[in-house]
Amino acid sequence: MIKHLDELRIKALLEVEKAENLERLDMIRIQYLSKKGEVSLMMGKFKELSPEERPAFGQKVNETKEAIEQALLIKKTDFENIELLKTLEKEKIDVTLPGYQFYQGSVHPLNQVIEDVEDLFVGLGYEVAEGPELENDYYNFEMMNLDKDHPARAMQDSFYVDETTLLRTHTSPVQARAMLEKKGEPLRIICPGKVYRRDNDDPTHSHQFMQMEGLVIEKGLNFANLKDALLKMIRHLFGAEREIRLRPSYFPFTEPSVEVDVSYIKKDGTVGYIEVLGAGQVHPNVLKMGGYDPEIYQGFAFGIGIERIAILKYHVDDIRHFYTNDLRFLAQFKGVGQ
């Protein structure tokens, strides 16, 4: 009888194995496991066995049942999976089709440059100072050591709105205001912002542009400190391999004054230099007007055009691109700095 159970099990498993669909599986289940199924009927033989044989036989019947049930379940799951897969196949999509087109935003390249420079200088202990664009000419010119007759004032043809108010020609008036606010205390600021000059717009000029000036006033500051700050800025902006070269120049608010060139590799492989910014040690008159004793305090200052940085960094060929705001231009700066 045990043997017969084994045979039943093998036969049932074989049939399960060969079953082609869920209906057939159901038939197999009925054939073996239903109340009148072949395995269930074997339980009827129970009475024919001696009490000693009964436990082993009972166990065998259960094992057979379980084995067949297990086989049925596995086979059933297989069939269900195949069916599901068929349904899923009908849901097939082309994963290569374009995705939902989210409009790509961007920060204006000039503001990206400003944020980049701000981050550097904040790390070096500077604060970021601001001031009005419509400025009193006392802050814009007089406090920068340009009196009414100063020849340098002719260099900066400006937009006056009345006798004493103009659109600032540089961000220096912010420095003037910051000095007065500090009331003689040491100072370390950068001032980025819009400035205006009476230049006709062309590929290299814009009547409105952006500038960033820096000003440090401390006791015992010297020219070597200025050179250090300049080199750090240039390398941060243009790469660690860059060098700077200084040339004598003139600004009314600094003395000595220098122009700063940055090195670059020319097409023929040699090193060239291109002018990027102006700098110098703060003129004693400017310190005095700002409330500092030039015999005790020294300062240095520098100023750089934000467009100039962007033009050099990204090889932009026309300053007007920054103000035309062609989306095809702006979109190119979507991931800078990330």
Partner 1 sequence: MRITENMLKKWIKIPENILEVTNQKIIEVESFGPLNPATKLVVGRVLTCTDHPDSDHLHVTTVDLGDRVDQIVCGAENVAKDQYVIVAQVGTVLPGDFKIKATEIRGVESNGMICSLKELGLDDKYIPEDFQDGIYYFSSPKPIGTEGLKALSLEGWAMELGLTPNRGDLLSVLGFAYDLASMTNQKITLPEYQITETKNVNPTKIEISTDGCARYYARYFERLIIKESPWWLKSALLANDLKPINNVVDISNYILLEYGTPLHMFDADKVKTNHIVVRDAKHGEKIVSLDGVERVLNDQDVVITNNEEVIAIAGVMGLHNTMIDDDTKRVILEAAYFDPKRISQTSKRLNLKSDASLRFERGIDDQRVILGLERATELLIELADAKVSSGVNGFIHHEIENPIISVEKKYFNEKLGVVIPEKKLLQFFDAYNYKYAVSKDTYELRAPSYRKDILIKADLLEEIARIYGLDKIPMKTIDQPAEGKLTFKQKRLRALRHHFANLGLNEIISYSLIQPSEVHRYQNLGDAVSVLMPLSEDKKTLRQSLVHGLLEVVSFNQSRQLSSVAVFEIGNCFAKGLETLHLGVAMSGTWHKNPWKKQEVKPDFHILKGLIDSVFNPLDITFTYVPTNHIDAYHPYRQANVVYQDKVIGQIAQLHPDEVKRLGIETTIVVDIDLAPLLDFSTPLVYKPVSKYPQIERDLAIVLDQSVNADDLIQMIKQTARKNLVQIDVFDIYQGSHIESGKKSIAFHLVFNDIEKTLESVDVDQLMKKITNRLSFSYQATIRN
Cβ closer to partner 1: 79 or 223? 223
Cβ closer to partner 1: 21 or 164? 164
For partner 1, the binding residues in 12-71 under the rule CB under 8 A are: none
Closest approach, Cβ 324 to partner 1, in A, equals 6
Cβ closer to partner 1: 26 or 218? 218
By CB under 8 A, residue 257 contacts partner 1: yes
Closest approach, Cβ 161 to partner 1, in A, equals 5
Q: Which range binds partner 1 by CB under 8 A, 10-18, 25-33, 40-48, 150-158?
A: 150-158
Q: What's the rounded Cα separation, in Å, for the pair 206 and 167?
A: 14
The half-sphere exposure of 162 on its side-chain side, counting CA atoms within 13 A, is 5
Out of 3, 36, 266, 328, which residue is the one contacting partner 1 (CB under 8 A)? 328
By CB under 8 A, residue 88 contacts partner 1: no
By CB under 8 A, residue 102 contacts partner 1: yes
By CB under 8 A, residue 162 contacts partner 1: yes
Q: What's the rounded Cα separation, in Å, for the pair 20 and 82?
A: 12
* Dihedral, CA of residue 140, residue 143, residue 144 and residue 145, to nearest 10: 130
By CB under 8 A, residue 245 contacts partner 1: yes
Amino acid identity of 184? G
By CB under 8 A, residue 91 contacts partner 1: no
Counted residue by residue, the chain has a size of: 338
Closest approach, Cβ 235 to partner 1, in A, equals 11
Q: What's the rounded Cα separation, in Å, for the pair 94 and 90?
A: 12
- Other beta carbons within 10 Å of 254: 24
By CB under 8 A, residue 136 contacts partner 1: no
Cβ closer to partner 1: 55 or 186? 186
Cβ closer to partner 1: 2 or 331? 331
By CB under 8 A, residue 298 contacts partner 1: yes
Q: Total residues contacting partner 1 (rule CB under 8 A)?
A: 83
Residue 329 CA: distances (Å) to CA of 1, 119, 133, 202, 325: 88, 25, 27, 18, 7
- Other beta carbons within 10 Å of 289: 19
For partner 1, the binding residues in 210-239 under the rule CB under 8 A are: 210, 216, 218, 220-225, 227-229, 231
3-state SS track over 30-66: HHHHCCCCHHHHHHHHHHHCCCCCHHHHHHHHHHHHH
179 Cβ contact list (under 8 Å, min separation 6): 187, 215, 217, 287, 289, 290, 291, 292
Interface mask toward partner 1 for 108-127; x: CB under 8 A = x-xx---x--x--xxxxxxx
By CB under 8 A, residue 149 contacts partner 1: yes
155 Cβ contact list (under 8 Å, min separation 6): none
Q: What's the rounded Cα separation, in Å, for the pair 175 and 179?
A: 6
Which tokens is 100 given? 């939902």
By CB under 8 A, residue 96 contacts partner 1: no
Closest approach, Cβ 188 to partner 1, in A, equals 5
Residue 314 · residue 306 · CB < 8 Å = no
Cβ closer to partner 1: 12 or 262? 262
Out of 20, 97, 241, 270, which residue is the one contacting partner 1 (CB under 8 A)? 97
Out of 30, 56, 265, 327, which residue is the one contacting partner 1 (CB under 8 A)? 327
Q: Which range binds partner 1 by CB under 8 A, 53-61, 68-76, 84-92, 191-199?
A: 191-199
